Homo-oligomer: A and B are copies of this chain.
């Protein structure tokens, strides 16, 4: 749409990029703020939202919705699904896919994509069950 002006390198952007690269799982904006503030304490939440959207526009991140809230993950990944830990609220990526789904479609429905979320307990939380 609009011609992208050149992006500048700032401490904030580098730090946001780094936490997403090293997280190995999708991160919510609040998680990004928490992780980045150890490096850049003054980081404003607005900067996080703006930067995440920027990275999506750039094609480097993709937004996903899990358990009703948005998370961002690296765009380069191949088709996969997600695990949501109902204890710690973290989201993980799961390699692999369910396979054939078209048999679930009544006639008239046209499928373009699908999303699968498995809910449960992640390794940390299943070791030491809560409550």
Contact = CB atoms under 8 A, between A and B. Distances in A.
A90 B71 CA distance: 22
Interface residues on A, range: 35 or more
A116 interface: yes
User: Assembly of this chain: how many copies?
Assistant: 2
Given A97-B104, A107-B123, A110-B121, 5 more contacts: A109-B122, A109-B123, A111-B118, A113-B120, A114-B116
Interface of A: 65, 67-68, 70, 81, 83, 86, 92, 94-99, 101, 103-123, 126-127
22 contacts: A65-B67, A65-B68, A68-B68, A68-B70, A81-B104, A83-B109, A94-B105, A98-B98, A98-B99, A98-B116, A101-B116, A101-B118, A108-B122, A108-B123, A108-B126, A110-B126, A112-B121, A113-B118, A113-B119, A114-B118, A115-B117, A116-B116
